[in-house]
Structure 1
Amino acid sequence: MAPDLANDDVVVVVRMYDEARSVGAVVTQLREHFPHVVCVDDGSTDGCDLIARAAGATVVRHHDNLGGGAALQTGLTWARGRAAMRHVITFDADGQHDVDDAVRLLAVARERGLDVVLGSRFLDTPPVNMPWARRCLLRAATSFTRMTTALDLTDTHNGLRVLSRSTVDGLELTLDGMAYASQLLNHVARRQLSYAEVPVTISYTEYSMARGQSNLNALNIVFDLAVERLRGAR
C-alpha cells in the first residue's frame, strides 16, 4: 500500500537502539500512513539500521549510543530540514505503540490547531499487562510533572506524541537520557503552548518491557531534571 500523501507534511521520528527484532514491522505499518519516516539509530550493533531502511525509512546514525534525548533531537533536526513539514510524530521502535493511535493524535492536532498532542495510557481503559512497579513509577512521574509544571496531565512519559512545526522549531533537547520527556513538557509549560491528551493503547510484551527503561533509572531522571533547573536558574 502506498503511503497516504495527505500526510506528506508529517515526519515520523523513531528512536532505535538494537531494535532489529521489531523495527521492520513498525516502519512497515507507519509507512502505510506516513510517507516520511526517519529512524535515528542510536549506536546500534544489531543491523537494525539495514532493516529499517529496507522497510522504507530514512536512517540517521549515531556512531555511539547517546541516549533517548539526543536521538530524538537528531530526528527533530532532520525533520526541520524539510520545508514542507508541519507536524512531527514521535513513535517508539519496540512495537508498543499502535499506528492507528498516531493517526488519531494527528487528526486532533490538525482539527484543533494544537501545538502538542500527547498520548495517554491512563485516560481511558487502564493498561493491560502493565507491571505494578511500572504503574507506580509512571504515576509518581506524572505527579512530579504536574507539581513542577502545572500542566494538567495523566501520563508524562509516553513516547507517542505529535508536535507542531513551531514547537519543533523552538525545541532543543539537552538532556541525553530519558529525562528528555520531562524536559519537553517543561518546554510546553514555559512557552505556554496549547496541548491536549488523547487516550492510546500500549502493548506490553516481554520484549517491550525488556527494552524499556528500568525503574531504577527514575533516579537518574530526577537528577538530570534537577541539574537542568539549576542551570536555568543561573
Structure 2
Amino acid sequence: MLVGVIDRLKLSWHRDLASHPVTHAWVLNLYRAGEQHPEKVGDYFPHQHAPWPELSADLARHASDERRHTKLYAKAIERIGGTVEELEGWDVFNRVIRDHTPVPFSIHEGDAPDVKRRKLGHFLAHAHCLERRVLRSVEYHAEACAQLGRTREAKLVEGVHADEARHVSYSREAVFELLGRREALEAFEIHGRAEAAADKAFSAYQVRIFMERHARHVPLPRRVVYSACAAIMEARA
C-alpha cells in the first residue's frame, strides 16, 4: 500500500513539473546536469583502464550516451521556451552522491593493476546505483509527459530510459566480474547506502528550491503535500 501511495505522489509531482514550461525546463535542467557531469570530472567512464575490451567499449558507449543526452535535454529545454542552465553543486545529483560516498574510485596511472580493477568496480557500483535511480525517475517523467500530451518530451525521455536500462544492466554484471561475488555485494551495499542517503538529501533540497521559485504553478493542497514530503526526507537523510 505504501509503495502505491509513493508511486502516485511521484507521478503527481512529475505531472506538475511537466504541466508548465517554466517548471518543465527547471526539471529538464536537473536531468541535463546529471548527464553532463561526466564531462566536468576526470574520473567517470575510465574505459582505458578496463581489463577486457568489451567492458572498455561499454564504458565508452556509456560516456557517449551521456553526451548525447546532454544535447537532447538542451534542445528540449529550448524547444519549450526555457533557458539552458549550467548547474553545479547540489543541483547535480551525481555530486550529492559523491558527497555521501566513503570509498574513492578515481584511478591514477600509478595505481597497481589490482587497485585499478577494484576502483573500476567501485565506480561501476556507484554508476549502477545512480543509473537505477535515474531509470525510475525518467519512467515517472515519461508517463507524466504522455498523460499530459507532451508527445515530443515523452519520446525523448523514453529514449533516455532505454539507454539507462542498458547502463543498469551492464554495470551490474561488470561489478561482479571485476570484484567477485563477495566484494561486489559489499560494494553494492556501500554505494546503495550512499545513493539512498543522497536521494533523500537531493530530493528534499530540490523540493525546497522549487517551492521558493515556482510554487505558484502548483495548487496549494499539493504544495502542502510536497513540502511535507521534503521535511520527512530531510529528517531521514
TM-score for the superposition, normalised by structure 1: 0.26
Q: Report which of the two structures shows the higher radius of gyration computed on alpha carbons.
A: 2
Q: Is the strand fraction higher in 1 or 2?
A: 1
Q: Is the helix fraction higher in 1 or 2?
A: 2
TM-score for the superposition, normalised by structure 2: 0.26
